[in-house]
Structure 1
Amino acid sequence: MGHPVTGRDTGFTLVELLIVVAIVSVLAVGAGLAVSRAPAADRDLSRFLAALSRERALAVIGGQSRGLVIGARGMAAVGRDASGWQVPQHMAPWRGRVTLTGERVANGPDIVFLANGAGSAWRITFSGDGGSRRCAGEGMTEPTCSGG
């Protein structure tokens, strides 16, 4: 039949746990190096898409308009309260060159997200390190991106 399982036979040993931690650490370092070597346009695009998704979700969850201010030197997330749009305190810098087109709200951010999930239409181009990437958003739909 076999011997009964006791408390000492269950779980992981310290050695097994250390091996798993070491493997995960090596993979994390490798992923970090791969991202830092990505072209500027790809890094800027990734950061932009993450901010876009985050601000849209915050607008819906918080029930208040949110936006992104896009400048030649960087980007900042802003909210809207009773007194109007917030002034960006810090612009996260771009690694390459960024160009945005689209209608802009007077005295507001370049890209706006409403509490119902709708947003403004925009087109953006990221360039640097010899490559370029383009994305467009039309309000309620997910952005479409191209380039390489």
Structure 2
Amino acid sequence: MGRLSARPDHGFSLLEMVVVVAIIATLSVGASLSIGQRGGTADAPRLTATYDALRDAAILGQEARGLRLVPGGWQALLPGEGADLRWRVSGGTQAFRSEARFEGARGPILAAAPDGGSPRPDIVFLPDGEVTPFEVVFVTDDAVTACRSQGLAGLECATR
């Protein structure tokens, strides 16, 4: 029997694969760091996700939900149970990563410091899908993102 002739190997070596994975990991870390520093564009998707979740919960649970502005962020609110008509905080405070300016139908919506009393929502999500109309502008050094809720159409955002 004869020996098989040696053929050059085809494919990638382990070392080549390690180098490619290291390069992709470095590029991924760089991209995520640059995205994380753009606060205004990061706040809009977070607020949109909260808006959608509260609106869906109000419709599906047939119970109002609320959003309260506090200095530096916002809190989700649930209505009281039974005869208790006071709102209560659900979860922690979500911090803004940029400057945020809220405007309602009656003028600016200003964040109120928690005073120890019952929290009151600045934005209410009703079981029929209606939401308190408002507009918010997130301002950073390099971008301005404006989001608007007309009451029934959802939250629409645009970056300038």
Using the size of structure 1 for normalisation, the TM-score is: 0.70
* Secondary structure in structure 1 of the residue aligned to 2:130: coil
What CA deviation, in whole Å up to 9, does each residue of 1:81-113 have, x standing for no partner? Answer: 242211466211111111111157xx6211110
Letter in 2 for 1:97: E
Residue in structure 1 matching 2:102, options 94, 100, 103: 100
How many residues are matched? 121
* Secondary structure in structure 1 of the residue aligned to 2:79: strand
Question: Percent sequence identity over matched residues?
Answer: 23
* Pairing of 1:1-148 with structure 2 (within 5 A): 30=28, 34-38=31-35, 39-82=38-81, 83=84, 84-87=86-89, 90-102=92-104, 103=106, 108-148=120-160
In 2 relative to 1, CA 116–33 (structure 1 residues): closer, same or farther, beyond 3 Å?
farther
Letter in 2 for 1:101: E
* Secondary structure in structure 2 of the residue aligned to 1:81: coil
Q: Which structure has the larger Rg?
A: 2
Distance 2:144 2:138 in 1: 5
Distance 2:64 2:31 in 1: 35
In 2 relative to 1, CA 116–35 (structure 1 residues): closer, same or farther, beyond 3 Å?
farther
Letter in 2 for 1:85: W
Task: Note the C-alpha offset of 1:132.
Answer: 1.0
More helix by share: 1
Root mean square deviation, CA, Å: 2.6
In 2 relative to 1, CA 33–114 (structure 1 residues): closer, same or farther, beyond 3 Å?
farther
Letter in 1 for 2:62: G
Distance 1:68 1:35 in 2: 29
Structure 1 portions without partners, runs of 5+: 1-22
Structure 2 portions without partners, runs of 5+: 1-20, 110-118
Distance 2:76 2:123 in 1: 10
Using the size of structure 2 for normalisation, the TM-score is: 0.65
Letter in 1 for 2:131: G
* Secondary structure in structure 2 of the residue aligned to 1:141: coil
In 2 relative to 1, CA 64–98 (structure 1 residues): closer, same or farther, beyond 3 Å?
same
